[in-house]
Amino acid sequence: MPKKVKFPQKLAKYLEKAGVKHNILEHKTAYTAYDAAATMGKKLNEIAKSLLVMADKNYYLAILPADHNLNFKKLAEVASKLAGKKIKVVKIPGEEAMKKLLKIKNGAMGAFGSMHKLPVVMEKKLAVAKKAIFSSGSFNHSVEMAVKDFIKLEKAMLGSFGKKK
């Protein structure tokens, strides 16, 4: 029998302390936002994918609908506003950088950047949704909550940097 994976306790305490209404969704192991949507029988635009990005020397957590690809040039413009200076290079760091920087398992990037002292930027198209499903940082759990509550909790900066697949 497979070992039962617990919901990340640090995140549970964070959400409880914040007092935001949310649902914890347990599901089969999913390594990508696409897999999570398929496993839970949800549409891709209901799933928020989390990407760790590096803009020049600073790290950000980019949140966008799972049916969108990241437009690096547009994200550089959004990050420039956040940083107060022109960002020259935006890239996705390798798994090892994520593991070293955030002390998490490869690919286990949750959506709650403030838990890692990371600024969060969110694609505007996701911000218009009432609810979305966010990664918990566990391959077996996700968090469903109101997008407006997520934006407030994470102090997310909104911008246009996603392109529908």
Domain membership flag for residue 89: yes
Question: What percent of the chain stands above pLDDT 70?
Answer: 95
Quote the pLDDT of residue 4. Answer: 61
Name the residue range of residue 78's domain: 14-164
Assess if residue 83 is contained within a domain: yes
Look at residue 106 in the predicted model and tell me its pLDDT. 66
Give the pLDDT of residue 1: 39
pTM of the predicted protein model: 0.91
Residue 8 placed within a domain? no
Q: Is residue 1 part of a domain?
A: no
Contact indicator for 106, 98 with CB cutoff of 8 Å: yes
Whether 5 is covered by a domain: the verdict is no
Using the predicted structure, report yes or no on whether residue 108 has a pLDDT greater than 80: no
**Position 157 in a domain:** yes
Q: How do residues 54-75 score in pLDDT, each as one tens digit?
A: 999 999 999 999 999 999 999 9
At 133, which amino acid appears?
A: I
Total of domains in the chain:
1
d(CA 68, CA 121): 14
Rounded to whole angstroms, the Cα distance separating 17 from 116 reads: 16
Judge whether 2 lies within some domain.
no
Q: What is the pLDDT of residue 148?
A: 97
pLDDT digits (tens, 9 = 90+) for 142-161: 999 999 999 999 999 999 99
CATH assignment of the domain containing 94: 3.90.960.10
Residue 36, H or E segment:
helix 33-40
